[in-house]
Amino acid sequence: DWNSANVIEEQVARIKEQVGSARVIAGLSGGVDSAVAAALVHKAVGDQLTCVFVDHGLLRADERKQVEEDYVASTGVRLVTVDAEQQFLDALAGVSDPEQKRKIIGREFIRTFEAAAEALVLEARADAAGSDSDAGQVEFLVQGTLYPDVVESGGGSGTANIKSHHNVGGLPEDMTFKLVEPLRTLFKDEVRAVGRELGLPEVIVGRQPFPGPGLGIRIVGEVTKDRLELLRVADKIAREELTAAGLDEEIWQCPVVLLADVRSVGVQGDGRTYGHPIVLRPVSSEDAMTADWTRLPYDILAKISNRITNEVPDVNRVVLDVTSKPPGTIEWE
């Protein structure tokens, strides 16, 4: 009896009631959840909504372009992009602890949304000067929080805090936004169905999940600009080869992780190397609450490994994660 049209109707009514005539911003991460959440709010309250895309420097290759072009074209939402790479790198400098990274990233997201909201209000006031139209504060922030995010951040009854998802346990306490979370009771496959029903393009609804804290939690060790660049190249290679092999359907997602705190000895050409390993973490799953490691064909693994060790500087080894969830989580941090 679950049906995406009903969910949309119900959520649109709820959002209208919650938001009234207030102004709303939605953070877009490039991922499926934030895209669908924002599209629902847009359907409910139209141009009371402004979407904000934070380029925090922890993104994968091409992510920004997909949001700025494909998403805007299919939804018609108003989008503001904020360049915040230096801000995030400065905040993360010297930090290796996974929970600390998550909290810092969650906090910087909110600080960035607050600044964007303030800029919007100033702009609206300037536009409204002389007229008596309403240019009030932005009261609401849309988040694409899913049911599993709530459970795994310790929000469900009787569950331990496994990880502070950036949009649940990672929020600063002094945040003034009220949250609009229209996906809070849904699982990922349901979110995708809602997105399709809303007419979002397949490149967005069919995407593999990507965590809000981005590549920041796929570097084991301190996050630096150089390391992010390496990881971005390795991730792009893995994605290209998996897609070319037609494996996107079979894989839930394939995090690519840089073990920045580990080095091993290698040989390349006729020289010794002392570089970092890259971990491939392909998983199959229904809802990310549990997962199994995907048995990828050896020749695909070989191709990815060859390309990564040849094309990514400072990486001299590729390893495969063969752990299910539990006991491993999908992401390494």
Q: Which residues bind ligand XMP (CB under 6 A)?
A: 152, 163, 165-167, 209, 211-213, 253, 288, 325, 329-331
- What's the min distance (Å) between Cβ of 54 and ligand XMP? 13
Q: Is 32 annotated as a binding residue?
A: yes
Q: Is 30 annotated as a binding residue?
A: yes
- What's the min distance (Å) between Cβ of 220 and ligand XMP? 13
- What's the min distance (Å) between Cβ of 272 and ligand XMP? 35
**From the CB of residue 297, how many other CB atoms can be counted at a distance below 10 Å?**
10
Q: Is 261 annotated as a binding residue?
A: no
Rounded-to-integer distance, Cα 199 and Cα 201, Å? 6
Cα→Cα distances 62→68, 70, 99, Å:
10, 11, 27
Task: Decide whether 45 or 67 has the Cβ nearer to ligand XMP.
Answer: 67
CB neighbour list of residue 154: distance below 8 Å, 6 or more residues apart: 160, 161, 162, 169
Helices 188-197 and 4-19 cross at an angle (nearest 10°) of 90
CB neighbour list of residue 132: distance below 8 Å, 6 or more residues apart: none
Which DSSP letter does residue 70 get? I
Rg (CA), the chain: 21
Q: Is 285 annotated as a binding residue?
A: no
Rounded-to-integer distance, Cα 192 and Cα 34, Å? 11
Rounded-to-integer distance, Cα 290 and Cα 308, Å? 28
Task: Decide whether 201 or 209 has the Cβ nearer to ligand XMP.
Answer: 209
Annotated binding-site ranges: 29-35
Annotated binding-site ranges for ATP: 29-35
